[in-house]
Amino acid sequence: MNLIKTIKHTWKIYWKNKKELPIAIISDFLFYYLAILLIGYVLNKMILIAQQIAEIAGDLTSITAMQSTQAAAQYKEVSKTMWILFIGLFVIWTVFKGISWWQAHKTIGERIKPKEFILKFALVSTAWYGMVLLLFFLSAYANYKVYMTQLINPVIIGIITILLLLKILYFGTTAYSILAVKNPIKNAFKTGMKKWKKTILAYILTLITFIISAVIFYLIAIQNTYIALAVTLLILLPALHYFRLLHIELFKK
């Protein structure tokens, strides 16, 4: 079955099961809503900590300030706040995106037991979440080295980071799409590489849809938050769920 036929076939499944769509939409919405609240909380806390560090540095000499107990406590608070962000995002992703992907596999007709699905989804999320965090840490370290040495253009680091992130997201999407098979993490790389010509267009369409929808949401939100919310619920989230179904269909044997 080629891509066009799969798109049409998936749309028929999507429309036939439209009554179940609110489950995935509400779950996706709760993820993004809680993620925004969490990020907002972390940003506000980081700003407060930065102000406190600046006050300490203003009251003492630079060397003394860095070595003071007060400054050390603030830097520990920074570390604690970042861990809250990382763990919080992982938890809400696993819960609410897990519900959405479960609904997608159920809609397609994949046979997988709830306990097995939960375990596999948690393991896949742990693996790819760890890869994304590692990539960002390595990117930050690379940018620091570039800033200190000025050997290469930092734009190059940015481009490499984006390309690696897109690859991680591609294989991550593949793993979520084949949760019904044995060892989805291992098979994600094998299946993703084997079927990349068949699935890459759908992956690109998903990225384009998400980016365009995010831009539209931002532009509308500047004018009216409620209209932006309506657009998200009526267009973005239903579209994302359709692409979940499409990826599962594309990776089916």
Domain hosting 138: range is 112-180
Tens of pLDDT, residues 69-94: 665 666 777 778 888 898 999 999 99
The pLDDT value recorded for residue 119 is 94
Q: Per-residue confidence at 68, pLDDT binned at 50, 70, 90?
A: low
Query: Does 102 have pLDDT greater than 90?
Result: yes
Tens of pLDDT, residues 168-226: 989 988 999 999 888 888 888 888 888 787 778 778 877 887 777 667 666 666 666 67
Whether residue 48 is contained in a domain is answered as: no
Whether residue 227 is contained in a domain is answered as: no
Tens of pLDDT, residues 12-66: 999 999 888 999 989 988 888 888 889 888 888 888 877 776 766 655 555 554 5
Whether residue 123 is contained in a domain is answered as: yes
pLDDT (mean) for 132-150: 82
Any idea of the CA torsion for 33, 35, 41, 43, to the nearest 10 degrees? -120
Higher pLDDT pick, 247 / 76 = 247
Whether residue 39 is contained in a domain is answered as: no
User: Taking the model in full, what pTM does it have?
Assistant: 0.82
Number of domains comprising the chain: 1
Token couple for 66: 């860095």
Whether residue 165 is contained in a domain is answered as: yes
The pLDDT value recorded for residue 217 is 63
Whether residue 33 is contained in a domain is answered as: no
Helix residue ranges, H only, the chain: 3-16, 21-59, 62-67, 69-92, 98-108, 114-149, 154-177, 184-194, 196-223, 225-231, 237-251
